[in-house]
A and B are shown apart, each in its own frame.
Chain A
């Protein structure tokens, strides 16, 4: 019983750490530019697969591959903005369709190269082995990841409130026209925002996936759906909401997995149930503004 509870707490925190990083980026792009980047889950997945494909390239210098993967995904994020999103800014349907197409293209690309089977990229584990507390053992890589995730989120919070770019981002998200009038290049801010969000996703992937394995290119959709649930719960456009929501959804999922009969099957449905319940009870989420979008 104790083991189950410890399991739930650890896995919940772990899920939360992953989801908060992904949802943070996703929510940022939405809050600043009103853009729903459906390819966001694909960025996460792509980073993982780039790590896999990079294995034969820098044997012995794996950290180079990690940097390589993160940089590529960040650049892809930037390209997504420049080539696909910006030209279609005025059309909501257009942006959604095109990022969906991109997500699909990335998924198919990974599928063609690596197929649908689960693959392990444990070569990239930085901290192998496990630590034991109260008889429950936890993978060191995951402990490291959780710490990094919390650090990154805190650094990000600092960045957003203190740095010049961070303030510009907040300005554009609050009132784009006013920001432009104040001399902020909203276009460039949006570009950087998308790139930052892709960077966060890639970073999360590089540290989490080596411990968790790549479960097929379709995991892009799984993470997209989960982060969508997190954003709805946390409140659309709220950064605090993404983090808090991430941990809440993470815990609900691990609780369901362990304590509910047929747990792992029901765990798949958790994001959907969260979405529906939030929409019915409190559509603006925990921290969202009460506005009609």
Chain B
């Protein structure tokens, strides 16, 4: 089923691409992507590359993470409040393999992501019995328990304690290369996730989200597809988690497993629009830059509070996120400019 579909899409691609560019969203996306590609070459200034550019890189890591959450919650309807689990597991596994077992970076990243997928499987299975808010709490509970395990008590010493693992290598010592690697990863992840959501598989996931009983009655093995959704989402979250570990060059319990991390995924994806995968990128960039501005302004401790309030406002007044309304405004301006 999947192979045939991909072959069809592949051969149709050039035509698809041409007509896609002409649409508003297509053109806009292309413009954004091209700007992102050119960005690192605009300045040789040290401050620019090492600080400013790295913010973009961080935003890209979180875009992938937020998109993975959107895939699970927005598209498949499985509300996950513990996405930090996949993020943290991948990060820790990757860090452990690099520091203690001397694995090469890329293999460690891949194994980290696969470890997250494995967790997606273990968690998916018992959590399947929970729906809606229960699932949200169940996943939150798991992430909190994992956090405690790694952070406190005598067991945490097996897991490197509250200090975690540090002195990890970066993806590349040149921030520009780091940026480009992540840009490529982000583009590939987004294309993959969006294609998944548009495919037959994606439609099945959406049908489970909208009416699980109906989907069940149609003969779809909802259990199996829900687990698949968990595992896929975990894969991308894991990729993001491993990259983050290398970006930050260290892993520690609160930084990688904290409830804040799950919160960030939720916030970014919700800001951008719950089922629109692209919105996650918008949400992630908006978030990272807002946080950066607040840090520069010196009001760092208020960051999370402001974001919590922002989440409340967005959910309360604009449940579909800000992406669509924003795009509509831009489109109106564009139309006016073109004199339509």
In chain A, positions 89-105 with a C-beta closer than 8 Å to chain B are 91-98, 100-102, 104-105
The CA of A112 and the CA of B144, in the complex, are separated in Å by: 21
In chain B, positions 127-157 with a C-beta closer than 8 Å to chain A are 129-134, 136-138, 140-142, 144-145, 148-149, 152-156
- Contact call A112/B316, Cβ cutoff below 8 A: no
If A104-B263, A108-B304, A112-B305 touch, whether A93 touches B311 (CB-CB below 8 Å) is no
- Contact call B152/A279, Cβ cutoff below 8 A: no
The one of A83, A94, A225 that contacts B140, using a Cβ cutoff of 8 Å? A225
Interface flags, B100-132, vs A, CB<8A=1, else 0 = 000000000000000000000000001001111
- Contact call B149/A96, Cβ cutoff below 8 A: no
- Contact call A87/B152, Cβ cutoff below 8 A: no
Please give the number of chain B residues whose Cβ is less than 8 angstroms from any Cβ of chain A in the complex. Answer: 42
- Contact call A221/B136, Cβ cutoff below 8 A: no
Closest to A226 in B: B141
Among B126, B136, B266, B302, which residue has the most Cβ atoms of chain A within 10 A?
Answer: B136
- Contact call B130/A279, Cβ cutoff below 8 A: yes
Closest to A261 in B: B154
If A92-B132, A98-B312 touch, whether A108 touches B305 (CB-CB below 8 Å) is yes
Segment from A65-73, A117-125, A178-186, A270-278 that makes contact with B? A270-278
If A112-B305, A225-B145, A269-B145 touch, whether A96 touches B136 (CB-CB below 8 Å) is yes
Among B137, B153, B259, B302, which residue has the most Cβ atoms of chain A within 10 A?
Answer: B137
Looking at chain B's contact residues, the main secondary structure is helix
The one of A96, A104, A222, A232 that contacts B144, using a Cβ cutoff of 8 Å? A222
- Contact call B132/A93, Cβ cutoff below 8 A: yes
- Contact call A262/B141, Cβ cutoff below 8 A: no
A36 at the interface (CB under 8 A from B): yes
If A36-B134, A93-B73, A95-B133 touch, whether A265 touches B312 (CB-CB below 8 Å) is no
- Contact call A276/B137, Cβ cutoff below 8 A: no
Closest to A228 in B: B137
B296 at the interface (CB under 8 A from A): no
- Contact call A109/B305, Cβ cutoff below 8 A: yes
Contact residue range for chain A? Answer: 35 or more
Closest to A272 in B: B145
Which residues of chain B come closer than 8 Å to A188, judged between CB atoms?
none
Which residues of chain B come closer than 8 Å to A94, judged between CB atoms?
315, 319
Among A88, A275, A292, which residue has the most Cβ atoms of chain B within 10 A?
Answer: A275
- Contact call A275/B259, Cβ cutoff below 8 A: no
B79 at the interface (CB under 8 A from A): yes
Which residues of chain B come closer than 8 Å to A108, judged between CB atoms?
304-305, 308
- Contact call A96/B132, Cβ cutoff below 8 A: yes
If A97-B270, A268-B149 touch, whether A84 touches B312 (CB-CB below 8 Å) is yes
Which residues of chain A come closer than 8 Å to B319, judged between CB atoms?
88, 91, 94
Which residues of chain A come closer than 8 Å to B132, judged between CB atoms?
36, 92-93, 96, 293
B230 at the interface (CB under 8 A from A): no
Which residues of chain B come closer than 8 Å to A105, judged between CB atoms?
305, 308-309, 312
- Contact call B311/A225, Cβ cutoff below 8 A: no
In chain A, positions 185-241 with a C-beta closer than 8 Å to chain B are 218, 221-222, 224-225, 228-229, 232, 236
The CA of A162 and the CA of B149, in the complex, are separated in Å by: 45
Closest to B132 in A: A92
- Contact call A272/B305, Cβ cutoff below 8 A: no
B63 to chain A, nearest CB (A): 19
A16 at the interface (CB under 8 A from B): no
The CA of A120 and the CA of B13, in the complex, are separated in Å by: 65
- Contact call A92/B133, Cβ cutoff below 8 A: yes
B81 at the interface (CB under 8 A from A): yes
The CA of A96 and the CA of B270, in the complex, are separated in Å by: 12
Which residues of chain A come closer than 8 Å to B126, judged between CB atoms?
276, 279-280
In chain B, positions 293-340 with a C-beta closer than 8 Å to chain A are 301-302, 304-305, 308-309, 311-312, 315-316, 319
What are some 21 contacts across the A-B interface (CB < 8 A)? A36-B132, A96-B136, A100-B311, A101-B308, A101-B309, A102-B312, A105-B309, A111-B304, A112-B301, A221-B144, A221-B259, A228-B141, A232-B134, A262-B154, A265-B148, A266-B155, A268-B148, A269-B148, A279-B130, A280-B126, A293-B131
Chain B residues near A (Cβ < 8 Å): 73, 79, 81, 126, 129-134, 136-138, 140-142, 144-145, 148-149, 152-156, 213, 259, 263, 266, 270, 274, 301-302, 304-305, 308-309, 311-312, 315-316, 319
